[in-house]
């Protein structure tokens, strides 16, 4: 998008341009803040907010989109999952139905066939399985509590994310309260826990992602960002038939060697995303104590023994504080990273990503000011900005 924008600029400046190039359609974004679902357009150089849909008392801190116009949104402050439809401009969410499951759900994921949704409950340390086959509306199939005591010093298990593995059979759930990762088997609607991976005392695994370095449909590796120890943990995976086994390969600081947090006592790693190229790994570093927080970039590369390892590349400002979530654009080259900051002056930023190097440009292509994206009732309250952003 950035490239086509500069091309348009160059053509626009040439007075004798013989034709008007086609203007790419704007990208459509879904943004969640406490008490609001926001839709916005991004044209490569600026954002236009198309809807600020007030959802009082709710926190749509995670949403999943299904073509052509369906949005499933959690209410992190309650126990509902809400189904909305969007209009033809992917704006104006209309509430269709509401279903009640575990409280404090913070992540939703479809199964391969998009007949089920798994919801991870941070509040209760459990996960919900929803049947969405009938009218797309949500029918609770089961809720599974993570068994056993939580990790020492933790009140409860806390399921933080549900992520479908590339084979389409297993969901992997980082359990922040258990210092563990659980593997859930979707086969025959079992959704039973088939493996519990110890991530280490005091780690607090939060969000992760898969990578398949041999191009196969099974992931070869998984990387998780830990919120309490601010680490990236790289695991090599083995599919046994009944589950996925995890073997730890490497563990390193989410800040890399060059940019330590000003305040390590508050630092809390947030989102983790691996680019389509299987090389570039991004992690958001929150509450660093610095003027703004940051997104660090690591490269997953083979070392001289031939086994892959993570290497710190660089780090850029997120433009604000508490970048709870960021996501890569939908284009194949993933040339834009969209960032949601809960605090600071910049609520939303679009950063240019170089597809060749994977580096992000610090100066944003476009931003939305915090005051323009928070709900009216929260004016003057800190850290009530965007919690979620996704191109749809
Ligand atoms: C954050 O602050 C620490 C301590 O002052 C400093 O060493 C580090 O470089 C800063 N990080 C960034 C990204 O500027």
Q: For residues 72 and 64, is the Cβ–Cβ distance under 8 A? A: yes
Exposed, middle or buried: residue 149 (CB in 10 Å: 0-12, 13-18, 19+)? exposed
Give the pLDDT of residue 303.
76
What pLDDT, in 10s, does the model give residues 265-309? 999 999 999 999 999 999 999 999 999 999 999 999 987 777 899
Alpha carbons within 13 A on the beta-carbon side of 81: 30
Q: What distance in angstroms lies between residue 101's CA and the mean position of ligand 1's atoms?
A: 42
Give the pLDDT of residue 204.
98
- Which residues lie below 8 Å from residue 137, measured CB to CB, with a gap of 6+? 83, 96, 97, 99
- From atom 2 of ligand 1, which residue's Cα is the shortest distance away? 262
User: Which neighbouring-strand residues pair with 164?
Assistant: 171
Pocket test for ligand 1, best of 260, 266, 313 (most atoms within 8 A of CB): 260
Cα 224 from Cα 235, distance rounded (Å): 8
Q: For residues 306 and 369, is the Cβ–Cβ distance under 8 A? A: no
Q: What distance in angstroms lies between residue 285's CA and the mean position of ligand 1's atoms?
A: 12
| 261-391-162 Cα angle (round to 5) | 65
- Give, in order, the Cα–Cα distances in Å from 287 to each of 62, 114, 127, 216, 341: 20, 36, 28, 37, 11
Give the pLDDT of residue 167.
98
308-317 vs 325-328, strand pairing mode: unpaired
Cα 180 from Cα 195, distance rounded (Å): 10
Q: For residues 124 and 145, is the Cβ–Cβ distance under 8 A? A: yes
Cα 294 from Cα 263, distance rounded (Å): 13
Give the pLDDT of residue 14.
39
Binding pocket residue ranges, ligand 1, CB within 6 Å = 259-260, 262, 290, 294, 315
Percent helix, strand, coil in the chain, to 5, is 5, 45, 45
Pocket test for ligand 1, best of 230, 259, 296 (most atoms within 8 A of CB): 259
- From atom 10 of ligand 1, which residue's Cα is the shortest distance away? 259
Cα 6 from Cα 361, distance rounded (Å): 15
Give the pLDDT of residue 306.
77
User: Which neighbouring-strand residues pair with 312?
Assistant: 298
Cα 81 from Cα 63, distance rounded (Å): 9
Phi and psi angles of residue 130, each rounded to the nearest 5 degrees, phi first: -110, 140
Give the pLDDT of residue 185.
98
- From atom 8 of ligand 1, which residue's Cα is the shortest distance away? 259
Cα 184 from Cα 176, distance rounded (Å): 16
Concatenate the DSSP letters of all residues of 336-367 into one string.
EEEEE-SBSSEEEEEEEB-TTT-PBPSS-SEE
Q: What distance in angstroms lies between residue 374's CA and the mean position of ligand 1's atoms?
A: 28
3-state secondary structure of 8: helix
Q: What distance in angstroms lies between residue 262's CA and the mean position of ligand 1's atoms?
A: 6
Q: What distance in angstroms lies between residue 260's CA and the mean position of ligand 1's atoms?
A: 6
Phi and psi angles of residue 244, each rounded to the nearest 5 degrees, phi first: -115, 125
Pocket test for ligand 1, best of 290, 312, 344 (most atoms within 8 A of CB): 290
Q: What distance in angstroms lies between residue 256's CA and the mean position of ligand 1's atoms?
A: 11
Token reading at 249: 């390969």
Instruction: Report residues of the chain scoring pLDDT below 50.
Output: 1-18
Give the pLDDT of residue 23.
61
Q: What is the pTM of this model?
A: 0.93
Q: What distance in angstroms lies between residue 180's CA and the mean position of ligand 1's atoms?
A: 30
């Amino acid at each position: 998008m950035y490239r086509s924008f500069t091309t348009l600029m160059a053509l626009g400046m040439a007075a004798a341009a013989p034709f008007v190039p086609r203007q790419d359609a704007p990208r459509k974004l879904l943004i969640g803040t406490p008490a609001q679902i926001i839709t916005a357009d991004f044209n490569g150089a600026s954002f236009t907010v198309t809807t600020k849909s007030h959802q009082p008392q709710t926190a749509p801190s995670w949403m999943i989109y299904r073509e052509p116009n369906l949005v499933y949104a959690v209410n992190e402050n309650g126990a509902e999952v809400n189904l909305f439809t969007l209009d033809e401009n992917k704006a104006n969410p209309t509430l269709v139905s509401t279903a009640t499951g575990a409280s404090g759900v913070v992540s939703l994921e479809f199964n391969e066939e998009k007949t089920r949704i798994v919801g991870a409950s941070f509040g209760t340390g459990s996960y919900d399985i929803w049947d969405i086959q009938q009218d797309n509306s949500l029918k609770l199939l089961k809720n599974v509590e993570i068994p056993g005591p939580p990790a020492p010093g933790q009140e409860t298990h806390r399921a933080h994310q549900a992520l479908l593995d590339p084979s389409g059979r297993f969901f992997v759930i980082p359990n922040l309260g258990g210092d563990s990762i659980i593997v859930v088997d979707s086969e025959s609607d079992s959704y039973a826990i088939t493996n519990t991976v110890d991530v280490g005392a005091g780690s607090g695994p939060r969000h992760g992602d898969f990578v398949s370095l041999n191009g196969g449909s099974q992931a070869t590796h998984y990387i998780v960002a830990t919120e309490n120890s601010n680490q990236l943990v790289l695991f090599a995976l083995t599919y046994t038939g009944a589950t996925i086994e995890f073997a730890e390969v490497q563990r390193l600081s989410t800040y890399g060697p060059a940019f330590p947090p000003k305040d390590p006592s508050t630092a809390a790693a947030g989102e983790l995303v691996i680019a389509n190229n299987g090389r570039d790994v991004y992690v958001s570093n929150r509450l660093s104590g610095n003027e703004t927080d940051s997104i660090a970039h690591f490269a997953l590369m083979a070392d001289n023994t031939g086994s892959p390892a993570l290497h710190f590349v660089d780090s850029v400002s997120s433009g604000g504080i508490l970048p709870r979530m960021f996501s890569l654009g939908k284009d194949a080259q993933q040339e834009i990273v969209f960032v949601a900051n809960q605090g600071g002056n910049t609520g939303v930023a679009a950063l240019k990503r170089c597809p060749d190097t994977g580096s992000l440009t610090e100066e944003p292509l476009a931003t939305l000011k915090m005051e323009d994206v928070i709900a009216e009732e929260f004016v003057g309250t800190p850290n009530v900005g965007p919690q979620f952003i996704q191109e749809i």
